[in-house]
Amino acid sequence: MEKEKEEKATPHYPLIDRELSWLAFNYRVLQEAKDPRVPLLERIKFMAIFSSNLDEYFKVRVATLKRLIKLGEKTRKKLHEDPSETFGQVMQEVRRQQEEFGLVFREGIQKGLREHDIHLVTEHDLNPEQEEWVHAYFEETLAPLLLPIILDETETQLFLKDQTVYLGIKMWEPQTGENCKPERFAMLEIPTKKHGSRFVKLPTKGKHRFVMFIDDVIRFCMPHLFPQYQRFDAHAVKVSRDAELDIEEEVSGNLMAKIRKSLKKRETGYPARLLYDPESPQDLLDMMMAHTGITQDELIEGSKYHNFRDFFQFPDFDMPSLKYTPQPTLVHPQLEHEPSLLAAMQKQDYLVHYPYQSFDYVLRLFNEAAEDPKVTAMSATLYRVADKSAIAKALAKAAKNGKLVTVVVELKARFDEESNIFWAGKLQKAGANVIFGAPDLKVHSKLGLITRNENGKLVNYAYLSTGNYNEDTSAIYADHALFTSDLRLTRDVEQVFNFFVDHQPDKEFKHLLMAPLNMRQQFVRMIDREIANAKKGLPARMILKMNALQDERMIEKLYTASQAGVEIELLVRGICCLVPGVPGVSENIRVRSIVDRYLEHARVYIFHNNGQEQYYVASADWMTRNLNRRVEVAFPLLQPHLVEQVRTIIDLQLADNTKARDVDNNYIQVSPSTEMRSQFATYEYLRSLVPEGMKPTRDKAE
């Protein structure tokens, strides 16, 4: 397979640095935590998302920058930019955001909690009654989970586990003053996983509710842990370790064994950062560095508390008014009462829009196919699945029922490798043919194919989606999924699965776009057509929605289109390296990003085509890795009623004046007099499609 040449020369057109653009995206998440229009407990969740995102960023991107800095000078000169300079800019922006994060927590979140009589108390705030309760709770629940390590009594190196909060403790013996040299230092892991939560709810008093970090419970109960000492000074630290797997991206040898080996290395990867409490005394930090091997370069000032991702577990105190008003899952107006989804797919194509509409339809489809005696074969690509994946179970059931089941499992799906290994083993034991990706490529497409014997003729049914086969994330990720038996599409889907089997690039696709075989070329062809139309004085426009826009060749092509007069609307949730509005370069390009209640995950590409619009829905962003080094699929919408659905949703997003931002993270106000929030409007639009008399939503119990 011929690989696309990736340009290494410094581009001559404006670009936003990828790393800084990602940080700008994560700042949009922090903006949600700041926004008083967002219910308080939802704002706390956005604090957790911001923290979780930043943890992963350090484990992968910052760790990669550090590796690049360690390269030889000649090798570094081949890079676009000096990694040391980029690293400095990244750290400066991270520190700025961390400071604002602390401010949001103190002046926004904590103040808001107090206004609703929820008190996040520390060890200094307890009254005598609460002190007694906390002591009892500690002895019964927390003390058995704790294993303190006295640092100066061990000669072995102390290993700090990844993404785990520890307390570094400085202790004084009786009769010694603050200025005396302490006798002991200790480290203590905060047992969040063993405890089940980072928080402890104290007894309610009247209308007042109280909650504590278990960190502060432990701080308060230090004398119980170390009765021989008189004073204690305890400060939190947390390590983020390099999570970039060192795997040859080829299916040779035992790839699963390589993955397992690399997963073990991940836990012991070198530290990308050590977050510490700025109030920590230097001698405590020195002692921790001496016993862990962590250097001053890895130290990054944080706050009193780390691992804000644990705020996903913050108790809601049964106060629904502090959360989003529930949006009951909508039924699909046609599929809901169809006894057989396969029979329904014989009649027409259907689009299901998650999370607004139920993910149950795909579960029904796969379970129906697994039980149907006329179904002879089933195929699927699994990238990220739920821990208790109903899809994987249906495929295993199909294999046990004697059907030919082929499952392409991507073992290199970052942070999901272990889960995918588990399901690959289960599927193999059930008799499925499990294929571990494709040579040199990561499989990111989301496809399914069902083959059925109908009157002696084999008929294919396909499922194509922008989102994963994951019933958990389908409740929060906004995606589109197509159910089809259209021969034009099912033939091409079959070719994709043939590629997974024989790895031959000689496949021809008449309707699908597949990376890395033809996707880039076809997108370029459609952009060139818009350029040609603009030069002829014809209407020329593109609406492109994706999660990330980083590929420099595609960006350059968009600049060329803008200069030719093509109107370009970009909806980019995350990384966007394109600079809009530059005179003579990109004045016809507008960029907006929507961060709201749900994660915008769908990719939609619309080309005006002189009035004969073409719509493609895809798994692929316009990043070099998606177009060159991943198996991705974009599928056309061929039926007018489906085109109308997607166009309506896109138009609502283009009109969003509540949660849309520009590349500088300024909120976009299209019509300030009327609030337009696209995700809420999308829900109402899809609800309006349900015929009168049909119950529009589905109860969870159903």
pLDDT band for position 246 (cuts 50, 70, 90): very low
* 491 inside domain: yes
Q: Is residue 198 very low, low, confident or very high in pLDDT (cuts 50, 70, 90)?
A: very high
pLDDT at 2: 41
Confidence of residue 228 (pLDDT cuts 50, 70, 90): confident
Average pLDDT of the residues in 597-612: 97
Q: Is residue 51 part of a domain?
A: yes
Instruction: Give the pLDDT score at 56.
Output: 87
Task: Give 680-691 pLDDT, tens digit per residue.
Answer: 999 999 999 999
DSSP symbol at 278: T
Q: What is the pLDDT of residues 401-424, one digit of tens each?
A: 999 999 998 876 555 677 777 888
Q: Within this chain, do residues 269 and 395 fall inside the same structural domain, yes or no?
A: no
Whether residues 253 and 306 fall in one domain: yes
Q: How many domains does the chain have?
A: 3
Instruction: Name which of 16-30, 139-153, 551-565, 651-665 the model is least confident about.
Output: 139-153
Does the pLDDT of residue 260 top 60, yes or no?
no
Point out the residues that are catalytic: 444
Residue 618 tokens read as 């895809």
Q: Assess whether pLDDT exceeds 70 at residue 540.
A: yes
* Residues 438 and 520 occupy one common structural domain: no
pLDDT tens digit sequence for 469-484: 889 899 999 999 999 9
Task: Over range 135-158, report the average pLDDT.
Answer: 85
pLDDT band at 698 (very low <50, low <70, confident <90, very high): confident
CA of 665: how far to CAs of 103, 422, 426, 577, in Å? 19, 41, 45, 14
Tell me the residue range of the domain where 525 lies. 514-688
Are 564 and 438 in a shared domain? no
Cα separation, 14 vs 4, in Å, equals 22
Q: Which of 492, 444, 485, 450 is nearest to 468 (CA)?
A: 444
Q: Is the pLDDT of residue 4 over 50?
A: no
59: left (phi over 0), alpha (psi -120 to 50) or beta: alpha
The radius of gyration of the chain from alpha carbons, rounded to an integer in Å, stands at: 27
| Token pair in block for residue 591 | 């960029």
Alpha-carbon span 466 to 481, nearest angstrom: 6
Residue 617 domain-assigned?
yes
Per-residue pLDDT band at 295 (split at 50, 70, 90): confident
Judge whether residue 158 has pLDDT over 90: no
> Contact, 633 vs 697, CB < 8 A?
no
pLDDT of 241 reads 78
HSE-up of residue 540 (Cα within 13 Å, Cβ side): 23
Residues in contact with 457: Cβ distance below 8 Å, sequence separation at least 6, in sequence order? none
74-83, 378-387, 516-525: least confidently modelled range: 74-83
Number of neighbouring beta carbons within 10 Å of residue 112: 17
- Domain with 450 in it: what CATH number? 3.30.870.10
Q: What is the pTM of this model?
A: 0.90
Question: At residue 245, what is the residue type?
Answer: L
Query: Reduced to 3 states, what is the DSSP secondary structure of residue 206?
Result: coil
Weakest-pLDDT range from 69-78, 117-126, 522-531, 625-634: 69-78
Are 444 and 548 members of one domain?
no
Same domain, 297 and 313: yes
Among 473, 507, 541, the domain-final residue is 507
Residue 194 covered by a domain: yes
Residue 364 and residue 300 share a domain: no
Lowest model confidence (mean pLDDT) among 183-192, 372-381, 487-496, 656-665: 183-192
Same domain, 80 and 163: yes
pLDDT > 50? residue 701: no
Residues β-bridged to residue 118: 209
**Are residues 502 and 581 located together in one domain of the fold?**
no
pLDDT at residue 265 greater than cutoff 90? no
Q: What average pLDDT does the chain have?
A: 89
- Same domain? For 54 and 154 the reply is yes
- pLDDT above 90 coverage of the chain, percent: 68
Determine, yes or no, domain membership for 330: no
* One domain for residues 154 and 252: yes
Question: Of the candidates 272, 289, 322, which is a domain's last residue?
Answer: 322
Q: Is residue 6 part of a domain?
A: no
Over residues 385-404, the pLDDT tens digits come to: 878 889 999 999 999 999 99
- Do 318 and 177 fall into the same domain? yes
Share of the chain above pLDDT 70, in %: 89
d(CA 191, CA 420): 27
Query: Where do we find the tokens 């103040």?
Result: 111
- Asked if the model's pLDDT at residue 185 lies above 80, the reply is yes
Is 227's pLDDT higher than 80? Answer: yes
- pLDDT tens digits, one per residue of 319-360: 999 999 999 999 999 999 999 999 999 999 999 999 999 999
210 close to 190: Cβ distance less than 8 angstroms: no
For residue 696, being part of any structural domain is answered with no
pLDDT of 16 over the 90 cut: yes
Assign residue 58 the CATH number of its domain: 3.30.1840.10
Which residue, of 295, 322, 349, is where some domain finishes? Answer: 322
Q: Is residue 329 part of a domain?
A: no
Instruction: Write the CB contacts of 640 (distance below 8 Å, at least 6 apart in sequence).
Output: none
Residues 109-130, mean pLDDT to the nearest whole number: 95
